[in-house]
Structure 1
Amino acid sequence: MLDVAAIEGGAAAEASLDPVRSRILASLAEPGSATMLAARLGLPRKKVNYHLKELERHGLVELTEKRRKGNVTERVYSATASSYVISPSAVSPDPAETPDQLSARWLLALGARLVQEVGSLLTGASKAGRRVVTFGIDTEVRFTTAADRMAFAEDLTQAVAALVSHYHDEAAPEGRNYRMVIGMHQIAAAPTAGGTASGPRQRTGETQETESDPGQEHRG
């Protein structure tokens, strides 16, 4: 059993996200038959057997053993991995097609490619018994104005370009290529006790102004 497997196809992803099949996959961390799973999950055996066949068809579970009990052969299954990463490649656009730094959809495409590539690396590394070398930074920054944010983005772009120019060696015979993705998006306001998003309060009679940011509101 792999530690992590990437689910590439849309049909396989749909199969894994079905609530019943998701429960079956989680339960198959320990091998079991349709009868055993039905008892574990409190479901009809025929229903479990149907979902097992679908999961097997998409390569998410595999037959590990056949046990003969009288006139009946019991088929024992196990999940093909301890956990799964769903690759959004089937439904996400190629970020190379529309490289717009101010587009939220382009940022989503970058994230989708990140999940796809790292998921595939994890699958291959698990099979080879090796580890994947990665590095990540996660932080938050609060800007006073839209102009400050745009200035920050420009400074960050220049800093990254300088670092890449300094360390990138196209001719390195033993070199390995690495993908670096940097993204920034607004964090949704947390709900208040009343169930609405918190944000700047407006006193009665005042006109609330919104931040003017060309390129943000109207780009997808």
Structure 2
Amino acid sequence: MNKAVHIIDEGGAATSALHPLRLQILSELTEPESAAGLARRMGVPRQQVNYHVRQLEEQGLVQLVGERRVRNCVERLVQAVGRSYMINPAALGGLGADPERIEDKASASYLLAVASQMIQDLAGLQHRTPQGDPDALTLALRTDVRFKSQEAQTTFAAELADEVARLVAKYHSAQASKGRLFRVHASAYPVPPG
């Protein structure tokens, strides 16, 4: 069974996945299929599809899920390991965005760096804990808000910051050395038009 989101950690796997034909193959492999079946569906020579499937398999992006006999041949059935993919910013090494290196804390660059760090943290969590493990439970809140004025936006930001600070002060226990440490992010940004 494929994961909802598969994290690509290695630069080689990212490069492999970003090839246009391989992107198409990954999107087609939501269910088990053979290279021959994919080739027919995609209108691409079987040998070409087979080569790219093998490359994806070597990078851990496609997995063998079965075999079936067709005439005198055994077809390998493969499936994508994820329904969607995300490249771990850690794959960029020292070039990855780091919130500590950005001075303007109100900039889009800073928010992108914070999001990058969050993706790295969650990738590590996903790799270390089995699916369904209560230690891996997260909390995410997402909503849109339309402000009637700049003043309302400023007031909202101040109230949100105060409320988050109040809740952190109420529930944070520095003395609970065996307690679970969570990272809390609260952010807002203008929705791009369109």
Please give the range of the TM-score, normalised by the shorter of the 2 chains. 0.7 to 0.9
3-state SS of the aligned residue for 1:6?
strand
Identify unmatched segments of 5+ residues in structure 1: 191-220
Identify if the C-alpha distance between structure 1 residues 41 and 178 changes in structure 2 by more than 3 Å, giving closer, same or farther: same
Aligned pairs (5 A) from 1:168-183: 168-183=172-187
Name the counterpart of 1:11: 12
Note the C-alpha offset of 1:55: 0.6
Secondary structure of the 2:101 match is coil
Aligned to 2:33: 32
Change (3 A) 1:189 1:162: same
Name 2:189's counterpart in structure 1.
Answer: 185
Deviation at 1:105, TM superposition (A): 0.4
Secondary structure, in 3 states, of the residue corresponding to 2:85? strand
Q: Is the Cα–Cα contact under 8 Å of residues 89 and 97 in structure 2 kept in the other structure?
A: no
With normalisation by structure 1, the TM-score equals 0.70
Cα distance, 1:107 vs. partner? 0.5
Corresponding residue number in structure 2 for 1:104: 108
Alignment match, 1:94: 98
Corresponding residue for 1:114? 118
Q: What letter is aligned with 1:23?
A: Q
Q: In structure 1, what is the equivalent of residue 84 of structure 2?
A: 83
Q: Does residue 163 of structure 1 match 2:164?
A: no
Q: Summarize the alignment of residues 137-156 of structure 1 with structure 2, pairs less than 5 Å apart.
A: 137-142=142-147, 144-145=149-150, 149-156=153-160
Q: Contact between 1:2 and 1:123, CA under 8 Å: does it hold in 2?
A: no
Match of 1:135 in 2: 140
The 3-state SS of whatever aligns with 1:96 is: helix
Worse-superposed segment, 66-75 or 154-163 = 66-75
Report the alpha carbon displacement of residue 39 of structure 1 after superposing the two structures with TM: 1.4
Instruction: Specify the SS of the correspondent of 2:169.
Output: helix
SS of the aligned residue for 1:63 comes to: strand
Offset, 1:99: 5.4
2:64 corresponds to: 63
Number of aligned positions between the proteins? 188
What stretches of structure 2 of length at least 5 have no aligned partner?
none
TM-score of the two chains, using structure 2 as the length reference? 0.77
| Structure with the higher fraction of residues in helix conformation | 2
CA distance in 2: counterparts of 1:44 and 1:153, whole angstroms: 56
Partners of 1:6 and 1:116 within 8 A in 2: no
Question: Which whole-Å CA distance do the structure 2 matches of 1:111 and 1:73 have between them?
Answer: 45
Identical positions, percent: 35
How far the C-alpha of 1:169 sits from its partner, in A, is 0.6
Q: CA RMSD in A?
A: 2.9
Moved more, 47-56 or 1-10: 1-10
Residue-by-residue CA offset, 1:116-135 (whole Å, 9 max, x unaligned): 3334434555x444363323
